Amino acid sequence: FGKEYNVTEGAMVVIETNGAVRAIVGGRDYGASQFNRATKALRQSGSSFKPYVYATAMEHGFTPDSVVSGGPISWGGWSPHNYNGGSAGNVTLITAMAKSINTVPVRLAKNHLGIKPSKAMAEAMGVESPLELHKTMVLGTSGMTVMDQATGYSVFAQNGFVGSRHGVTQLVTRTGEVVYDFAKDAPPPH
């Protein structure tokens, strides 16, 4: 399947809502390449960054039913377009997110939020990749890792709480002594 799109590698991370990392695939063949694309490769997130912008809007008083124009917008010489090239008219935030309308998160950032709050939201949700503070960031132009994206999205599944990423839940000695137990020793979600 990937050959027709010239895709030869991929990455995947599965994180439970409590932060437990259950699976990481960093590439197709560790013998051929030890580079872990899941934890090291910075790739543009594209439209998958938009939920951070919408979460920021919710923190600033917007609701899923808030109506924002999805029409044309220009910002300092930049005029982003919607995927279909047309205008979306006035839409609710939930519709804008479901239809991945580009002009709505741009309008939110330009007219209501600024850029810094969306960057801060992504970081608060566990994104550790160095996000570039640029107006195009709201459309996912800044590079981030698959691990960071999975961590950030897990916050939605946890009703807004950030869990501690972890791969070990318990360490037990040969004699049965528990020297580490994530449930007791890890910091609480924040």
Where do the CATH 3.40.710.10 domains begin and end in the chain? 49-124
pLDDT value of position 1: 63
CATH class of 49-124: alpha beta
Q: For 23-46, what is each residue's pLDDT tens digit?
A: 999 998 889 999 999 999 999 999
Q: Is residue 187 over pLDDT 80?
A: no
pLDDT value of position 4: 84
Name which residue leads in pLDDT, 167 or 98. 98
- Banded pLDDT at 166 (limits 50, 70, 90): confident
* Chain mean pLDDT for the chain: 92
- Banded pLDDT at 121 (limits 50, 70, 90): very high
Q: What is the 3-state secondary structure (H, E, C) of the chain?
A: CHHHHCCCCCCEEEECCCCEEEEEECCCCCCCCCCCCCCCCCEECHHHHHHHHHHHHHHCCCCCCCEEECCCCCECCECCCCCCCCCCCEEEHHHHHHCCCCHHHHHHHHHHHCCHHHHHHHHHCCCCCCCCCCHHHHHCCCEECHHHHHHHHHHHHCCCCCCCCECCCEEECCCCCEEEEHHHHCCCCC
Give pTM, 2 decimals.
0.89
Q: Is residue 165 over pLDDT 90?
A: no
Q: Is residue 59 over pLDDT 80?
A: yes
pLDDT value of position 5: 84
Q: Is residue 111 over pLDDT 90?
A: yes
Q: Is residue 3 over pLDDT 90?
A: no
